[in-house]
C-alpha cells in the first residue's frame, strides 16, 4: 500500500487515507468497540460486587488489582502464543473471552469462585488484546504504515473511552442496577470479535 518514493520503495499511506485500505476499517471497528467496553470491569467491579453481594469495596479494589496483574502476564504470554498461532485469530479469541467472562460474571455473581476465574480470564484476554494490535497492524499493512495506522487507531478509540462513564452511568440510573452495565460492556466486547471475521488474510492490503 502507498505510493512509490524516490528510492522505489512504497511510502506510508497518509493517515486520512488509511480507511481506503482493505481490512483496515473492520480492525478499527473492533479496536474502537473493545476499547470503549473493556474499561467497564476496571471502573465498576468494586461497585458491582458491593451492589450484588455486599462485598466490601476494598476487596473489590483488590480484585481490580488482580485484573491488572493478569493483564501484565497476558501481554507477555501472548507474544509466545502469537508466534505459533495467527495474531488475527488470537485477537479474536481474546476479545471473545473477555466479553464472555464479563457477561458470565453479570449473570452469576453469586458463585464465589467465579470472581477469580473472571479476574484471570478477563485480565489475560484484555492485556493480550492490547499487545496484539501493533503486531497485527504490521502483518496486515506493513511496517511503514504502522505509525500512521496505530495513531489513527488510538485517535478513533478516544471518543468511546471518553463516553463510557456517561453511557454506563445513564444505563445504571435507568435500570437501577449494574447488571445491564456489565451486559452492555461484555456484549460489546463479544461483538467486537465478530468484526474480525471480515478481515481476509491475502497479503498486505
The end-to-end CA distance of the chain, in Å, is: 6
When pLDDT is cut at 50, 70 and 90, the band that residue 7 belongs to is: very low
- Which residue is it, cell 473493545? 34
When pLDDT is cut at 50, 70 and 90, the band that residue 160 belongs to is: confident
Reported as a single tens digit per residue, the pLDDT across 11-62 is 888 887 888 888 999 999 999 999 999 999 999 999 999 998 899 999 999 9
Of residues 6 and 74, more confidence is placed in: 74
Residue 5 has pLDDT above 90, yes or no: no
Dist CA 151 CA 149 (whole Å): 5
Amino acid at each position: 500500500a502507498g505510493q512509490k518514493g524516490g528510492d522505489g520503495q512504497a511510502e506510508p499511506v497518509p493517515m486520512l487515507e488509511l480507511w481506503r485500505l482493505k481490512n483496515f476499517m473492520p480492525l478499527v471497528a473492533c479496536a474502537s468497540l473493545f476499547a470503549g467496553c473493556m474499561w467497564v470491569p476496571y471502573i465498576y467491579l468494586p461497585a458491582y460486587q458491593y451492589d450484588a453481594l455486599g462485598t466490601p469495596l476494598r476487596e473489590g479494589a483488590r480484585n481490580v488489582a488482580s485484573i491488572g496483574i493478569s493483564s501484565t502476564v497476558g501481554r507477555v504470554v501472548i507474544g509466545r502464543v502469537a508466534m505459533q498461532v495467527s495474531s488475527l485469530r488470537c485477537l479474536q479469541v481474546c476479545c471473545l473471552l473477555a466479553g464472555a467472562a464479563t457477561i458470565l460474571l453479570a449473570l452469576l455473581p453469586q458463585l464465589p469462585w467465579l470472581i477469580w476465574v473472571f479476574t484471570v480470564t478477563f485480565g489475560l484476554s484484555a492485556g493480550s488484546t492490547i499487545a496484539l494490535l501493533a503486531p497485527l497492524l504490521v502483518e496486515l499493512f506493513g511496517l511503514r504504515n504502522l505509525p500512521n495506522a496505530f495513531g489513527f487507531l488510538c485517535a478513533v478509540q478516544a471518543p468511546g473511552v471518553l463516553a463510557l462513564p456517561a453511557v454506563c452511568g445513564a444505563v445504571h440510573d435507568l435500570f437501577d442496577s449494574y447488571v445491564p452495565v456489565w451486559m452492555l460492556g461484555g456484549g460489546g466486547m463479544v461483538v467486537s470479535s465478530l468484526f474480525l471475521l471480515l478481515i481476509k488474510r491475502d497479503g498486505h492490503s
